[in-house]
Structure 1
Amino acid sequence: MDQRRHVGDQERKRLLDPLTRVYNRAALNDRLEHEFRLWKKYQRPFCLAVIDIDHFKQVNQQFGYEVGDKALKIVARTIYQCLRDTDFIARFGGEEFVILLPDANDDTRTEILANISHTIRKLPLKFKNERVAITVSIGATLFSGQDTPTPVLERADQALYQAKNSGRNQIIWC
């Protein structure tokens, strides 16, 4: 029994990002494949969004990596708290997160993404009595037609870069 528990603990650790304690890219790949198969079978709305912390390099440069790490942890936790039980978050790399919103209608997914953006913008993050303003840019898309995960991820990433190039702190659908 102890060995089984130990193996389960090791498996969970393998799938979690050590800093933010949300899922990592390996877990994302597994979950994305699972949700993709369900989407193919049932054709329910399936949204994928890429979230990037705006001007994160400046946060690290101005306040130090400790504050940057703290910001990553807080942003990850905030995104997680804005999601439904059926949704999924993973740290994609650096200051980027990917969320999966399966079976979310237009109103639901719009509300979730807007709530993430709004809640992060209002975070009371401070360092030495100076407010550290954090905003995010979000690129989102829906699975459709003959989509597979790779082009959907690329489309969401393109939407993210449109959001960044259009002034940041916004949600772009592609």
Structure 2
Amino acid sequence: MPTELAAASLPIFALGIGLGALVVLTALMAGLWYGRRSSAPPASIEFQTEQILRMLQGVSRFTSGVAGDVSEHQEHFRRLLARLNNAEKNPGETSDEAASEVVHEILSANDALQKRLDDAETALKNQSHELAGYMTEARTDGLTELPNRRSFDDDLAARFAQWKRYRTPLSVMMVDIDHFKKFNDTHGHLAGDAVLKQVAQTLRDALRRSDVLVRFGGEEFAVILPSTTVADGGIAASHMLHAVAEKAFLYEGKVLRVTVSCGVAEAQPGDTEITLVKRADEALYAAKKAGRNCVYRHVGDRLERGDAGPTPAALTPAPLSSQKTANDFSQVCDDLRRRLLEVAGKDPQRDST
């Protein structure tokens, strides 16, 4: 008898775990709602709020239903125990038959409750998958599929805490597509969106796996560079700059080209996450002020050019004058004529007269 009664209590214990998981799920969705509300544009907040509230209401109704089943099962269990006690006190009733009947009813009630628990587990898994989708969406930019600003803030806070503890180098890079408003005005916003996606992929391909590239907003990107000094960050930025400048971006059969400007700063004593990003942004502004398509680094209290290798201007050959070109061609012809005469056994000086 004690074994059967102990077995009868197992579904209640399992249900307790399930209800606890439901409570955690509800709390996660509530936290997600506040997080999405703080990072979402005002126009989409109302729609997102309705989605989250519908999920919360569904979980609430489901939790209430399962809790009712638990209460009903416990009440049934108490009635069966009372019958057993009465059977033991009433000598006219066969205790074994009463016990067998009670155990049968307990097992039947357990089967029904177990089915309800299985349904609860399935529903909980479905809600968890849906919540995981919302969490991914809340931290991902829909156009470029890069992490978004909220993800950047969270990752930078974690990296910055590590930097404060271990003092391993940490740099932040800000990247902006040059003259992008003019690009959109010329080619259209659909072309702009297509190029944004391709630029994002180009930047990602130029970085290490440990680097965190995010879409910061609009045509601006940000990169968290772990274990990277400002000098190495300048080299990484230069690689990205040249990768974008050399890339032919395609849209509806047309080849479109853009360039980027980059600013890099390294975490220093006294910095916060905000001041680190601010200094990288100041370096970006200096790059744009210097003519764009270049890299600037924020080093201490000064801003300096940080490109690796020759600048685009240095790569452009100086134009040749038409007079110099004509003279060079005439000299080549004279040398060739002289060589032919020597091969023919004639005196070049005498024949030229």
Give the TM-score normalised by structure 2: 0.47
- Which residue does 1:80 correspond to in 2? 204
Matched residues in 1 for 2:269 and 2:128: separation? 42
Shift of 1:2: 3.2
Shift of 1:4: 2.1
- Contact 2:171 / 2:230 at 8 angstroms: preserved in 1? no
Q: Structure 1, residues 59-83: CA drift from partner, whole Å, max 9, x if none?
A: 1011100110011111111111222
Q: Structure 1, residues 123-150: CA drift from partner, whole Å, max 9, x if none?
A: 1114465532210000110001111011
- Contact 1:63 / 1:127 at 8 angstroms: preserved in 2? no
Say which structure is richer in strand: 1
- Which residue does 1:138 correspond to in 2? 262
- Which residue does 2:247 correspond to in 1? 123
Q: Structure 1, residues 94-147: CA drift from partner, whole Å, max 9, x if none?
A: 100010001124664333212111111111114465532210000110001111
Matched residues in 2 for 1:58 and 1:139: separation? 21
Higher RCO (C-alpha under 8 Å, 6+ residues apart)? 1
The sequence identity of aligned pairs, in percent, is 33
Aligned pairs (5 A) from 1:9-158:
9-105=133-229, 108-127=232-251, 130-158=254-282
Matched residue type, 1:100: I
Matched residue type, 1:153: V
Matched residues in 2 for 1:81 and 1:6: separation? 30
Query: Does residue 171 of the first structure (1) align with residue 295 of the second (2)?
Result: yes
Segments ≥4 residues shifted beyond 4 Å? 105-108, 127-130
- Which residue does 2:106 correspond to in 1? none
What is the aligned length? 174
SS in 1 for 2:221: strand
Matched residues in 1 for 2:250 and 2:209: separation? 30
Matched residue type, 1:52: D
Question: Could you say if the C-alpha distance between residues 7 and 63 of structure 1 is closer, same or farther in structure 2, counting changes exceeding 3 Å?
Answer: same
Q: Which moved more, 1:22-31 or 1:82-91?
A: 82-91
5+ residue gaps, structure 1, are none
Say which structure is richer in helix: 2
Matched residues in 2 for 1:7 and 1:138: separation? 36
5+ residue gaps, structure 2, are 1-124, 299-353
Matched residue type, 2:281: D
Matched residue type, 1:171: V
SS in 2 for 1:99: strand
Shift of 1:56: 0.4
- Contact 1:87 / 1:99 at 8 angstroms: preserved in 2? yes
